[in-house]
Amino acid sequence: MPSVIRPATIADAAEIARIHVEAWQAAYAGHMPDEFLRALSVAERRQAWERTLAAGTATVFVVLAGGGVAGFAIVGASRDDDAGPGTGELHAINLDPAHWHSGLGRPLLDHAVTALRDLGHRDATLWVLAANARARRFYERAGWSPDGTSRVETIAGGTVELAEVRYRRTLGTATVV
């Protein structure tokens, strides 16, 4: 599917928030408590995205399809304490569930990798739920590999625990599989 990927603007905040919530609700069903997923608020996410995009402190891209925003990715420096110099991070990538399996995810991921390289990073990491086999296959097909690091993140005021594994890839050249 032909798509356009461009930097996100504050005008995209509402659609990014909707996608953020709907993608989590679809992708994490069975991995996170149902009550937590049902309680996710598009209005709260919209406010957070408006603040993020207005501040200009994050590198956020959207992929457009069918006349609107179909997904987003956010990249930047690694937030990990053990990150070496030149390590970037794919902080998030989400597609509207209506666009899953449409061919939009890989170009968005490739764009994020290129952006990390353009920002001067030599390596990149990302965190994924250990039990999320679908996402793990997606990253592995794109040249990412688990690096042996895992963690348990707590969110929602400490009420939800997420077992995650870290993936890594070199940014020197794009891997096409």
160 assigned to some structural domain: no
148 assigned to some structural domain: no
* Tokens 């995209």, located at residue: 12
171 assigned to some structural domain: no
Question: Do 72 and 19 touch, CB atoms closer than 8 A?
Answer: yes
- Looking at residue 177, its pLDDT comes to 37
Q: Is 56 exposed, middle or buried (0-12, 13-18, 19+ CB in 10 A)?
A: exposed
Q: How many domains does the chain have?
A: 1
What CATH number does residue 12 fall under? 3.40.630.30
- pTM of the shown model: 0.91
Mean pLDDT by 10 residues, the chain (177 residues): 85 98 94 92 96 92 94 96 94 96 94 95 96 95 96 84 94 55
Q: Which domain holds residue 77?
A: 4-123
